[in-house]
Structure 1
Amino acid sequence: MNVEKALALLKEKGYKYTGKREMMVEIFSREDRYLTAKEVMEEMQHQYPGLSVDTVYRNLSLFEELGIVEGTEWEGERRYRFHCGGGHHHHHLICKLCGRTRPLNVCPMNAVLGEPDNFTITDHKFEIYGYCSDCETQSGD
């Protein structure tokens, strides 16, 4: 996903193009990592001082529904990142300190489960948490 595709998708699906939505998309493009709603809001406060938490959450939910961002539950909080895009199946390595991700281009489900009898898998998620090389000395683990 990139800024142009995200904004075009909003327009294509009939949603208003607003400065707030554009700014949120640009934040995700620039940061290239998982962000909390609070982090998004803090980035936007200087330009939109009256911005409500509800507005941020409502737009994050919309962005996730449209496939602009992907979300995950991590340390008891929902976090979001720009959707990877592309049609290839993959999973992520996620740095617990900075939130940056790396694709994991192998699916562990095949080794663990294979094709189960009498069940059709329609979706799954596999994430590995740790520390990137930039952050591992700061982790304290």
Structure 2
Amino acid sequence: MNRKWPAGLKRTKTRLAVLEALDKAKQPLSAAEILRQITGPGKTGWYSTVYRILQTFVAAGLAAETSLPGRDAHCFELIRDVHQHYARCEMCRKIFPLEACPVDLLAKAIPDFHILSHRIELSGLCQDCYRKSSGNSRKESQP
């Protein structure tokens, strides 16, 4: 992890552990998921501490708070050079990162307008769940 630490923000073991968990994550994580990652056998931690650290990271511009379809908890991810959007399977809850941002294409089609922010939430069925649900509906409709 080669990230510039924000001026005035004290480096603590817990903050560094949270930052490392976010850096390694392939998708946004909730505070509870991060807590499980940074605590292990013989280690303890507090949900409230992790949540405060995440809020501090958001305020410092290190992380972004987001919500994902089908998730009740707010999730957090590092702010990277390239932002990411996700699709979520409604059945198995698996998350799929989108390869590109469709808004980049739309932005060129809107003259005299500069997009400052956007949010895309896609939900549906992954291929495996789609096959399972299609197979079940066919079986149910047969005499």
**TM-score between the two structures when normalised by the length of structure 2:** 0.66
Separation (CA, whole Å) in 2 of partners of 1:55 and 1:18: 12
Assess, with a 3 A threshold, how the Cα gap between structure 1 residues 61 and 122 changes in structure 2: closer, same or farther: same
Greater alpha carbon shift after TM alignment, 54-63 vs 102-111: 102-111
Displaced runs of 4 or more, over 3 A: 108-111, 113-116, 119-122, 129-132, 138-141
Partner of 1:77: 73
1:37 deviation in Å? Answer: 0.9
- How far apart in 2 are the matches of 1:101 and 1:82? 15
> Which of 13, 16, 24 matches 2:10?
16
**What is the aligned-residue identity percentage?**
20
Residue in 1 aligned with 2:85? 92
Give me the whole-angstrom Cα distance separating, in 2, the residues matched to 1:62 and 1:131: 35
- State the Cα distance separating 1:109 from its structure 2 match: 9.0
CA-to-aligned-CA distance 1:48-101 (integer Å, 9 cap, x gap):
41x211111111111122232222123322011222325xxx661333434452
Against the structure 1 CA distance between its residues 59 and 138, is the aligned structure 2 distance closer, same or farther, given a 3 Å change threshold? farther
Structure 1 residue runs of 5 or longer lacking an equivalent are none
Q: Give 3-state SS (helix, strand or coil) of 1:71's partner.
A: strand
1:1-141 equivalent positions in 2, closer than 5 A = 3-5=1-3, 8-10=4-6, 13-46=7-40, 48-49=43-44, 51-74=45-68, 75-86=71-82, 92-96=85-89, 97-107=93-103, 110=106, 114=110, 122-130=116-124, 136-137=127-128
CA RMSD of aligned residues (A): 3.1
Larger radius of gyration: 2
Structure number with the higher strand fraction is 1
Instruction: Determine if contact 2:85/2:98 at 8 Å carries over to the other structure.
Output: yes
- Between 1 and 2, higher relative CO (CA 8 Å, sep ≥ 6) is seen in 1
Question: Does the 8 A contact of 1:93 with 1:130 survive in 2?
Answer: no
